[in-house]
Chains A and B, each alone.
Chain A
């Protein structure tokens, strides 16, 4: 059990008596870092959470955005890291399940899944490869069975995730505003538990996730059953239509302890329940096991007495188990009985609010020891380096992953996975663009700028589809917060995100903090993951591949920012240098300008420059259109005297590649000049080679067909043969 000495003293003082074992288990589960956010809660307030489109209701586990015409979009993000590091298939699958139920608990239908996956060096580490393959299978088997398309995400490999896994899942829901569940309860209402049986899986999972991963505590791992989840989705949506639901909460971390205490607290009610009425997987479960089990696919519902028969009828139709476990009282207490015997009787608000902590922070020593760039490092052949990068696991095509996910079901997917952001069509004729982005390599060098960069990259990606950002979700993943150096990196990232969110006026509508992401070999690099949603009123820019005679333009400035780049880390095995930074004003101006070009139908395709730098973004365009491109490197706007390798591989933000048809080139140039945007007309698409020249010297000469093979086979070959 994870209660600290201070916490135990605090409890005895407040409650005025010794606690029963069940009570201690309940509080320990709810006060775990995972459930209580006790290290972060004080600070999360700095994030802007309100805005024109944001709908706030009591007890929501996901963010709600008004998208007009009586419709809402819901969004949430979570991770399932510890379980996935031990049992990747089940850990990743139940990670999907949990987020889906958060979306469902607002009364909206889940319509899309995104996942961000991070593992160790899969080229050399077969354990990392095993983790990765099984996590992908877990997500595929779960999401596909639910009939919810997995339409995007990202995959990254880094030595810092050795023997570990980051499995982040974001989900999006869609529904009618007037059908949102407005959580409320009246005295005498009934408390019902529906879904899978409660068993001994996931016991103490939230506490397991609130400590560094040292032992493989398999009893803390949850078991997935997507079929039950699918039935729950249909049951809940039908029950919602029949107005059978007053309030609803998903059972996730902390199981019943968390769901009951948080529901009672947020609604200002008391809940009395009898554990004997809960349907279980096996006989002989103790009350505390029942209260902290994290068995999956369960929902807590508060319903009126007169609605119970209807609710039962719907559950029967879908063969979903439904137990009447208790009722609503007005004493604001959480009362757990087993028959006539009381096992826990605690004030709900006391359980739901762990004492918050003030963590210390100091600048990490490692930052002072980061290496300066070695000016004398060996210059490599650029053409060969580009091929090496294109086939590297972080850059190579991820089709091996997303072809295992049903990304078409639901018939909403307009822009499919494999491009910058994915786009879904909505029932009101509008389009929703979404993307998640992280970059631990940048965040390690500079947690503040790295985090802002992830946020900006996600924005850039949805801008490429013609969408305006309307909301963001953040998932902040760090090591042990008790370590002041790690806490400093958390605070830096959080403050950076908050600053940029305020500047862009993009509210944070949801998120999660995950600490203790470490193994005996050390903490992970700071890994904030940012999801951004955007809305497009007219059809989105569906990327049209470049063709013969099209112009290539770049918007934005390339700077001396090779730190944390794939070029430094993958090619030169070098960690250090200048991390890319975001200039807020330029960032916004570039976004607005690109959006207005798209709006005026002046561009065929926009691609963001990110991992691998300019030259990789250009290669991706060429590979996509199966056409070469000839450009003069001097036309790329960049910091004065910037070396060729930096121009080619630096991962500076706020840059976009535009593909423009000859007939529009004059108007595009005029528009960009008028906005006083830094841009360059780099050259034209033609032939079968990418050729980059400086004066009359060839810097790069590479055959697109060869590049394509390397790009498409890089990751797949690695996974097919081992």
Chain B
């Protein structure tokens, strides 16, 4: 299985995700600069965290217009698993691949801390090894991580089972405490917390297993059981 990691000017979690995919989960991974094309042989795409274009105008909005996004869109349409983490989530939202927007945290500050997530949808390529309601201890690190959508959209998200993760406790003012959502078909997932920072016990002060299941889900999706 080969995973494409999209790199924008200002991405800064690209190397972390590369390490986790290759060294921890033994997958093949390749970086793709935002001006390049994604080859069709890619089995999954990850948009890593960071500050693409320095978060100018609004987090993710400029990167959403990068040339590579059209390839991401066509792959998403074909059902290829796409995961956006933190800034990657913001880019997916800004490019219209996922509903809603991400606003400045109600604390008005950047927040870097370990929090608990609750799994709400275990029917995506990145959550199929998790249990519904399962708790995941994981770090967040963002200034614009407050998920917002109007009531109509929120209702639709609930009806179509598009809410993937919620925060255990109210944290940053997110609507319905949403931490991650997916598209209607479930193959495109965006989440604010950083699973790549939580899968190794050496740097995880809590339990690293639930976060690992996010990547093991991807392996299962590809038919590689660990």
One of A145, A404, A411, A413 near B55 (C-beta < 8 A)? A145
In the complex the two chains form, is B196's CB within 8 Å of A411's CB? yes
Hey, which chain B residues are within 8 Å of A226, CB to CB? Answer: 51, 54
In the complex the two chains form, is A411's CB within 8 Å of B200's CB? yes
Contacts A404-B112, A539-B202 hold; do A409 and B13 have CB atoms under 8 A apart? yes
In the complex the two chains form, is B33's CB within 8 Å of A317's CB? yes
Shortest Cβ distance from B22 into chain A, in angstroms?
A: 13
In the complex the two chains form, is A146's CB within 8 Å of B203's CB? no
Name the interface residues of B179-226: CB closer than 8 Å to any CB of A: 194, 196-197, 200, 202-203, 205
Hey, which chain A residues are within 8 Å of B9, CB to CB? Answer: 227, 230-231, 318-319
Hey, which chain B residues are within 8 Å of A140, CB to CB? Answer: 109-110
Hey, which chain A residues are within 8 Å of B205, CB to CB? Answer: 416, 542
Contacts A406-B141, A411-B196 hold; do A425 and B203 have CB atoms under 8 A apart? yes
B41 on interface, CB distance cutoff 8 Å: no
Name the interface residues of B6-64: CB closer than 8 Å to any CB of A: 9-10, 12-13, 15-16, 19-20, 33, 49-51, 53-56
A407 on interface, CB distance cutoff 8 Å: yes
Interface size class of A (residues with CB under 8 A): 20 to 34
One of A141, A146, A318, A407 near B112 (C-beta < 8 A)? A407
In the complex the two chains form, is A144's CB within 8 Å of B56's CB? no
Shortest Cβ distance from A713 into chain B, in angstroms?
A: 15
Hey, which chain A residues are within 8 Å of B16, CB to CB? Answer: 409-411
Name the interface residues of A395-412: CB closer than 8 Å to any CB of B: 402-412
In the complex the two chains form, is A147's CB within 8 Å of B13's CB? yes
- Report the nearest A residue to B197, measured CB to CB: A408
Hey, which chain A residues are within 8 Å of B197, CB to CB? Answer: 408-409, 411
A672 on interface, CB distance cutoff 8 Å: no
Q: Mark A201-232, 1 if CB is under 8 A from B, else 0.
A: 00000000000000000000000011100110
One of B19, B49, B55, B111 near A403 (C-beta < 8 A)? B111
Hey, which chain A residues are within 8 Å of B56, CB to CB? Answer: 227
In the complex the two chains form, is B112's CB within 8 Å of A230's CB? no
B139 on interface, CB distance cutoff 8 Å: yes
- A167-B109 Cα distance, complex, nearest whole Å: 20
Q: Mark B132-156, 1 if CB is under 8 A from A, else 0.
A: 0000000101010000000000000
In the complex the two chains form, is B54's CB within 8 Å of A227's CB? yes
One of A147, A425, A539 near B51 (C-beta < 8 A)? A147
- Report the nearest A residue to B143, measured CB to CB: A144
In the complex the two chains form, is A408's CB within 8 Å of B112's CB? yes
Hey, which chain B residues are within 8 Å of A411, CB to CB? Answer: 16, 19-20, 196-197, 200, 203
B113 on interface, CB distance cutoff 8 Å: yes
Hey, which chain B residues are within 8 Å of A631, CB to CB? Answer: none
In the complex the two chains form, is A403's CB within 8 Å of B113's CB? yes
Q: Mark A132-147, 1 if CB is under 8 A from B, else 0.
A: 0000000011001111
A595 on interface, CB distance cutoff 8 Å: no
A19 on interface, CB distance cutoff 8 Å: no
A414 on interface, CB distance cutoff 8 Å: yes
Shortest Cβ distance from B116 into chain A, in angstroms?
A: 16
Contacts A144-B110, A403-B111, A409-B12 hold; do A414 and B203 have CB atoms under 8 A apart? yes
Shortest Cβ distance from A176 into chain B, in angstroms?
A: 15
Hey, which chain A residues are within 8 Å of B194, CB to CB? Answer: 408
- A497-B196 Cα distance, complex, nearest whole Å: 42
Hey, which chain A residues are within 8 Å of B20, CB to CB? Answer: 411
One of B10, B143, B202 near A227 (C-beta < 8 A)? B10
Hey, which chain B residues are within 8 Å of A145, CB to CB? Answer: 10, 12, 51, 54-55
Name the interface residues of A134-188: CB closer than 8 Å to any CB of B: 140-141, 144-147
Hey, which chain B residues are within 8 Å of A317, CB to CB? Answer: 33
- A405-B111 Cα distance, complex, nearest whole Å: 7
- A42-B33 Cα distance, complex, nearest whole Å: 50
- A539-B200 Cα distance, complex, nearest whole Å: 14
- Report the nearest B residue to A400, measured CB to CB: B109
Contacts A145-B55, A425-B203 hold; do A408 and B12 have CB atoms under 8 A apart? no
In the complex the two chains form, is A146's CB within 8 Å of B12's CB? yes
- A236-B33 Cα distance, complex, nearest whole Å: 17
Interface hub of A146, A147, A403, A539 (most chain B Cβ within 10 A): A147
Interface hub of B112, B197, B200 (most chain A Cβ within 10 A): B112
- A412-B203 Cα distance, complex, nearest whole Å: 7
- A230-B10 Cα distance, complex, nearest whole Å: 6
In the complex the two chains form, is A425's CB within 8 Å of B202's CB? yes
- A319-B197 Cα distance, complex, nearest whole Å: 29
- Report the nearest A residue to B200, measured CB to CB: A411
Interface hub of A403, A406, A416, A542 (most chain B Cβ within 10 A): A406
Shortest Cβ distance from A111 into chain B, in angstroms?
A: 11
- Report the nearest B residue to A407, measured CB to CB: B112
Interface hub of A140, A144, A405, A542 (most chain B Cβ within 10 A): A144
- A140-B107 Cα distance, complex, nearest whole Å: 15
One of B54, B112, B200 near A406 (C-beta < 8 A)? B112
- Report the nearest A residue to B33, measured CB to CB: A317
Q: Which 6 A-B residue pairs are closest in the complex by CB-CB distance?
A: A147-B12, A227-B54, A145-B51, A406-B141, A411-B16, A404-B110
Residues of B near any A CB (own CB < 8 A):
9-10, 12-13, 15-16, 19-20, 33, 49-51, 53-56, 109-113, 139, 141, 143, 194, 196-197, 200, 202-203, 205
Beyond A403-B109, A405-B112, 10 extra complex contacts between A and B, CB < 8 Å: A144-B141, A145-B10, A145-B12, A230-B51, A408-B112, A409-B49, A409-B141, A410-B15, A411-B19, A425-B202
Q: List 15 A-B contacts (CB under 8 A).
A: A144-B51, A144-B141, A145-B51, A147-B12, A147-B51, A227-B10, A227-B53, A227-B54, A403-B109, A406-B141, A407-B112, A409-B13, A410-B15, A411-B20, A542-B205
Residues of A near any B CB (own CB < 8 A):
140-141, 144-147, 225-227, 230-231, 317-319, 402-414, 416, 425, 539, 542
